[in-house]
Chain A
């Protein structure tokens, strides 16, 4: 049977009209796609594993409860391996090919420095846990929000503990050779000097250096009374603690949360080598003298354990932070009624006193560093119980 041209055009037109209806309906039920840029493999992968558990826990919990307005959360993970070139490629792919609605990550500062401008150009809503101060700029990157404290906030907590609680004056500051390590050490040294302390030794060490005796010797010979450390490398920390023990040097380590990570325990020569190490910690993830966590956290840990999430080889705050990020994105979509970027960013800008598992957040148009400084404390590094910690002495 032959089809006349008029018939053909008419039928195509009808199909086109018909297909436009389902498309509108489709948008309402399409998944909420969240891009997750993470350095799963590579040197700084310890936090990544923790974040990842929180991400999947939160996504599964939301989806089990019916999703957001009937829409499921879909996590699209891209392993950047700690390589900025891979991060740039992956970010572009998430934006233009996978067409995600928001991006959580990247987890590495070096990668974040490269991809933040790209996300800004594409107006992609972005939450990230990287601490380098320059990553947040409400004018240049109006779509980027930081969920963790900035490094300045961490630095303030550490410095306060050294100078005012431990009451020490001679400081050694050591970091690794990554972008984060270098900037953190520089900022820390400057802030210590401003408050009148003496920085007797300052160094950046390659985190894979196997023998740390030369560097520790130099620090000791300089007369340092406490060592402030800024690195994510748990391997380097374990070697530092072992070296301290071998040198019989009774000095304290104060610094980055990673000094308390469960990955360190098996790398120590003796469990006691972990004594006198104090990590940046969070009120939400610390237990008091009686061994009790804050009630909200207790419930969270119970839920995690019920969902069979492993906590003993990581830090709770990483898991909590990852979960909070997904929750913040989901809430934004729910509150604004759609996955449009402007709506998500507007919601985030309006957040006041939001209580997450990890902390309390406040954001505004001019303030994208949302974590409250008052919730930062120092923890006793080796006191981990399911990734939570006892407060350091002196609090």
Chain B
């Protein structure tokens, strides 16, 4: 039982952490919390299943196609739901525009893909029991993504430009950094991260349209716990959440587990609105 909790908890936690990073990446260059983060996670699974199982493409091709589709959606998110609203002074509008877009994505998926969870292909074929690939693939994917992002932010010019825009918008503009292009690029990057989350979590969560709302919430909790904009905090928060949730699931069962998670979330949020590890963003 303990081994199952650990395996499932780390796997779920890794997926939630990746969606949390999606939120953070979108936030960092636009100051916008986007409701589409969870939907991108869902689409990672749905597109993966569609390309590999339905269309029969090889796994690598299916994976890349999934990421490309997610990137396109990230671009659309920025274009339709974020850019027009940033110009206006009304900050609350972005909550509404991204919510509307997220719902549209979810409903189209429900109608076109169906309302039942559909199977996700086996990717590697290595592992049994608690070492089943549906448990270790998300963890590996999360680790690789973190390493990749660190490399991007520290070593490449584009990555450092992202960081600059995130830390001080006006200074970055003054330096001549192309703010809008960077924002678009970061939304596409965030969408790719979301796609990775959904694709790597496909065997655990299946290709299911309702995963969007689920990941929206469970992917947000790591952000709330870890502090807005803080990717490391998101990972720790995600793993904590995953372990707590799976422990509750195994010990008391589905309904009470989700009540426990939600209650804990609200309590933590009220006690520490800046997150347990503090926000990376100045007031």
Which residues of chain A have a CB within 8 Å of any CB of chain B? Answer: 41-43, 45, 177, 203-206, 208-211, 213-215, 217-218, 233-235, 239, 246, 263, 266-267
| Cα of A144 to Cα of B249 in the assembled complex, Å | 41
Minimal beta-carbon separation of B198 from chain A (angstroms): 13
Q: List 19 A-B contacts (CB under 8 A).
A: A43-B115, A43-B116, A203-B253, A206-B254, A208-B208, A208-B210, A210-B205, A211-B8, A213-B8, A214-B4, A214-B8, A214-B253, A215-B253, A218-B250, A234-B116, A239-B206, A246-B129, A246-B132, A267-B119
Asked if B271 is at the interface of the complex by the 8 Å CB criterion, the answer is: no
Q: Is the CB of B4 within 8 A of A213?
A: yes
Q: Is the CB of A209 within 8 A of B254?
A: yes
Q: Is the CB of A41 within 8 A of B255?
A: no
Asked if B117 is at the interface of the complex by the 8 Å CB criterion, the answer is: yes
Near A by CB (< 8 A), chain B positions 90-133 give 111, 115-119, 129, 132
Minimal beta-carbon separation of B237 from chain A (angstroms): 21
Give 7 new A-B contacts, CB below 8 A, not counting A43-B116, A214-B249.
A42-B115, A203-B253, A210-B208, A217-B1, A217-B250, A218-B250, A246-B132
Q: Is the CB of A45 within 8 A of B115?
A: yes
Asked if B204 is at the interface of the complex by the 8 Å CB criterion, the answer is: yes
How many B residues touch the partner, as a band? 20 to 34
Q: Hey, which chain B residues are within 8 Å of A205, CB to CB?
A: 253-254
- Residue among A42, A45, A204, A214 having the largest count of chain B Cβ atoms under 10 Å: A214
Q: Hey, which chain B residues are within 8 Å of A214, CB to CB?
A: 4, 8, 246, 249-250, 253
| Cα of A215 to Cα of B261 in the assembled complex, Å | 18
| Cα of A140 to Cα of B169 in the assembled complex, Å | 69
Given contact pairs A42-B115, A43-B116, A267-B119, A210 touches B206 in the complex (Cβ within 8 A)? yes
Q: Hey, which chain A residues are within 8 Å of B119, CB to CB?
A: 266-267
Q: In the complex, which residue of chain A has the Cβ closest to the Cβ of B5?
A: A214
| Cα of A205 to Cα of B8 in the assembled complex, Å | 18
Q: In the complex, which of the residues A177, A211, A217, A218 contacts B255, with contact meaning CB atoms closer than 8 Å? A: A177
Q: Please encode chain B, from 180 to 217, with 1 for each CB lying within 8 Å of some chain A CB and 0 for all others.
A: 00000000000000000000000011101010000000
Q: Please encode chain B, from 245 to 267, with 1 for each CB lying within 8 Å of some chain A CB and 0 for all others.
A: 01001100111000000000000
Q: Hey, which chain B residues are within 8 Å of A266, CB to CB?
A: 119
Q: Hey, which chain B residues are within 8 Å of A211, CB to CB?
A: 8, 204, 249
Q: Hey, which chain A residues are within 8 Å of B206, CB to CB?
A: 210, 239
Minimal beta-carbon separation of A202 from chain B (angstroms): 11
Q: In the complex, which of the residues A203, A204, A217, A235 contacts B116, with contact meaning CB atoms closer than 8 Å? A: A235
